[in-house]
Amino acid sequence: MTVPFRRHVLYLPGFDPIPPRRYRELYRREAADQARISGHKLRMKKAQPDGGGFAWRVGAHVEGRDVETRFEVALWSDIVQASMSTGIVGTYRQLFRTMWIYIASGTITRLMRLRRGPVIAAFYPIAVLLAQLALAIGMAALVTWGISAAGGGLWGLPLGLAAGWGVLVLGRRLDHRLFAYYLMHDYAFTGAHHGAYPPALEDRITQFRDRLKAILAQDLDEVLVIGHSSGAYLAVSVLADLLREGPRHGPALSLLTLGHVVPMAGFLPRAHRLRDDLAFLSQADGIFWTDVTAPGDACCFALCDPVAVCGMAGPDQRWPLVISAAYTQTLSPERQKAIRNRWFRLHFQYLCAFDRPGDYDYFAITAGPQTLAQRFGARNHSPGRITRPVGKRR
């Protein structure tokens, strides 16, 4: 009887305040679609507690072999929630401060020289919030003038201010559709310490490193760390901290970064820790690192080598292997049409089913019988890979 391939996935989400069960349900739904398309046999199971975070198990028969995967979400949504509790006035304060940090440091100019898509996405919440502010000021002025002209006397100003504030409150309540406040909090969190990790996040990175050490002590074939969006650079720091402790033995250690936004943090003036981690991990032994992005995802720095563009590539750089999810080839025209202009959906496509999967199949990677090195070891970088060192600090 063949022994099943055993894997533990440690997934680091991006800046997301939503509880981790969202990722379990996303995996359940999309795995069923991919199984139907690719012929995988996948069955999700309840995970027994083992001292880790929110988790589930996947029993699979993929590519001719049985596989057992434990999928665990590394939680930092509480930190995200705390950073988003600033209210309307606090958010506008963050807006102007974040704009100043990115403009005065020259970071925004360098980002535009790299990829304009994510920079335009970064300007979206600024434009929406400033438009709401302008509308609020206009409404306040109009109501104040109207009441005064009608003989309302001193009532004009307070009622005008109330009307203006009402516009801002309405804009905040509509953010489940506009996402302007959410995105503004995301960029403000990244820029608040000029690229350095805030103390609470440093503590959480240490906890993730310790959890990863405990996982690596188990009898497994592969430990796969996945970082999505801003979780990609957190994963880099977690693994760099771990590997700096010296040589290790045990299961294969793999890193998969998806839809990364590394330059948004790495180009900032105080991102010394992140840049050092990128430089160290790019030359590290005992790991296989693959980075997957797609030009169709406007919220990421598609095909940008996160080490090289931050100016940290040395002559001995080995990682990451940079490949494209190639949405125009791996998604059917019908699905491309259905999700066109849906920025968040496109940014999460890496975690979803593909109609025409190429060598990137999220469910084969997480529930299949090959390590990341076995699956991609013979793969070359995608031809469009960008290595130009745009980051000021090299």
Res 311: pLDDT: 94
Asked if residue 281 has pLDDT above 80, the reply is yes
Q: What is the pLDDT of residues 218-263, one digit of tens each?
A: 999 999 999 999 999 999 999 999 999 988 889 999 999 999 999 9
Q: Are 360 and 292 in contact (CB under 8 A)?
A: yes
Instruction: Kindly report each contact of residues 43-48 with a partner whose C-beta sits within 8 Å and lies 24 or more positions away, as own/partner.
Output: 47/71, 47/72
The structure tokens 């100016």 sit at 311
The sign of the dihedral angle between the CA atoms of 39, 372, 211, 278 is negative
pLDDT higher at 350 or 152? 350
User: What was the pLDDT predicted at 160?
Assistant: 85
Secondary-structure breakdown of the chain: helix, strand, coil percentages, each rounded to the nearest 5? 50, 15, 35
pLDDT of residue 169: 95
Asked if residues 20 and 55 have their Cβ atoms less than 8 Å apart, the reply is: no
- Reported as a pLDDT band with limits 50, 70 and 90, residue 1 is low
**What does the pLDDT look like over 33-67, one tens digit per residue?**
999 999 999 999 888 777 777 999 999 999 999 99
pLDDT grade for 390, boundaries at 50, 70 and 90: confident
Position 224 scores a pLDDT of 98
Burial of 173-206, coded b for 16+ CB within 10 Å and e otherwise, reads: eebeebbbbbbbbbbbbbbebebbbeeebeebbe
Using one digit for the tens of pLDDT, what is the confidence trace for 352-389? Answer: 999 999 889 999 999 999 999 999 999 999 999 999 99
**pLDDT for 296-315, tens place per residue?**
999 999 999 999 999 999 99
Residue 145 confidence (pLDDT): 87
pLDDT at 394 over 60: no
Q: Residue 353: what pLDDT? A: 96
Which position has the higher pLDDT, 77 or 160? 77
Interval 94-114 mean pLDDT: 94
Give residue 391's pLDDT.
67
Across the range 189-203, mean pLDDT stands at 96
What DSSP line would sit under 281-347, residue for residue? Answer: HTT-SS-EEEEEE-TT-TTS-TTB-HHHHTT---TT---PEEEE--HHHHS-HHHHHHHTT-HHHHH
Q: How many residues does the chain have?
A: 394
Tell me the mean pLDDT in the region 337-347: 92
Is the per-residue pLDDT at 204 higher than 80? yes
* The pLDDT value given to residue 149: 78
Q: How confident is the model at residue 152 (pLDDT cuts 50, 70, 90)?
A: low
Amino acid at site 171? G
| Closest among 86, 95, 79, 84 to 12, alpha carbons compared | 79
**pLDDT at res. 172:** 95
